Amino acid sequence: MKKVVTLGEIMLRLSTPGYERFIQADSFDVVYGGGEANVAVSLANFGYDAYFVSKLPKNEIGQAAINHLRRFGVSTDYIVRGGERVGIYYLESGASMRPSKVVYDRAHSSISEAEASDFDFDAIFKDADWFHFSGITPALSEKAAYLTEEALKAAKKHGVTVSVDLNYRKNLWSSERAKEVMTHLMQYVDVCIGNEEDAEKVLGFKPGETDVTSGELELAGYRNIFEQMKERFGFKYVISSLRESYSASDNGWSACAYDGNEFYHSRKYDIRIVDRVGGGDSFAAGVIYGLLEGKDFKDALDFGVAASALKHTINGDFNMVTVSEVENLLKGDASGRVQR
């Protein structure tokens, strides 16, 4: 069984039931999630031995986050206990023209104040096949940026393939600081995932005229940026999911990618959304699975898009689908007929 590792923060997600607004809610639905944890869960569901590396406080909330990961098959042996608190994000689900809202309360979380020495990266990356991280982790704090680089060095030392999801978060750091930290880390990366906003804010590549709120996509601009990115950092693959937000209830969903040779655009799915948080993470996980399984790059991309299209129909951050469910959708059956 392949061993895959992700590193990052898992937060307590507090979401209002149904379409309630924050000021209406008398209860919050509780799950735990975060970009890299979400990737680990997807990969565990696909049958891998997936390890999520993080730090969580020695209290019951930290334990509940661990139990949530274990429930969905993730190995939690490398999670260190200590520090102050579990980060939180509050989520209010939008509908129609009312957007979903996220309020973050993640400062001072255990992982944001963790030391690199808290982790035994040699043990973690021993016999590992893949390491995935995102631009969120180094954005948490200077310590976390340092920790991320230490992890990357260890991964490379052990010959592990590395992927990144650039994931720019404007309330965690400025574009300037992001560029400073992230361009430095790109030397360790084999597979780079990120949309045009990420490319600009994190790596400084300006896309063309694409206006993301208009719902129109300019694939030509993507190709141009991907070529620059590959040239500059030597990525093996450059990949982006493409979201067309018709409304908070309906999205178009596809992806494009460049392998240094060809530029691909995947099939597009029109999705009635149940929960779109974690959509990008499930896409990254699907692509990683495809590549680890030795699929053609185009097929890996299609697997990632189909897997993440399904994610949008599932509550919570985690994508709870099996390989065979993704394959059924890839075979073309999007009819939603009852399976008895």
Nearer to its own copies, 292 or 330 (CB): 330
> Do 136 and 108 touch, CB atoms closer than 8 A?
no
Quote the CA–CA distance of 149 and 81 in Å, as a whole number. 21
Choose among 271, 268, 282, 273: nearest CA to 319.
Answer: 282
Position among 107, 219, 292, 323 found at the interface with its own copies (CB under 8 A): 107
Position among 78, 90, 146, 233 found at the interface with its own copies (CB under 8 A): 90
Work out the number of other CB atoms within 10 angstroms of the CB of residue 166.
23
Tell me, yes or no, if 281 is annotated catalytic: yes
Residue numbers 206-225 binding its own copies by CB under 8 A: 212-215
Residue numbers 177-196 binding its own copies by CB under 8 A: none
Residue numbers 223-282 binding its own copies by CB under 8 A: 245-250, 269, 271-274, 276-277
Residue numbers 118-157 binding its own copies by CB under 8 A: none
Q: What is the CA radius of gyration of the chain?
A: 19
- The verdict on 175 binding its own copies (CB under 8 A) reads no
Residue 95 per-residue DSSP state: B
Position among 3, 13, 55, 85 found at the interface with its own copies (CB under 8 A): 85
The terminus-to-terminus CA distance of the chain in angstroms comes to 31
> Do 32 and 67 touch, CB atoms closer than 8 A?
no
Nearer to its own copies, 62 or 290 (CB): 62
Find the catalytic residue in 281, 296, 302, 333. Answer: 281
Residue numbers 1-40 binding its own copies by CB under 8 A: 14, 17-31
Buried b (16+ CB within 10 A) or exposed e, 113-131: bbebebbebeebbeebbbb
Name the amino acid, one letter, at 3.
Answer: K
* Residues tagged active-site: 281
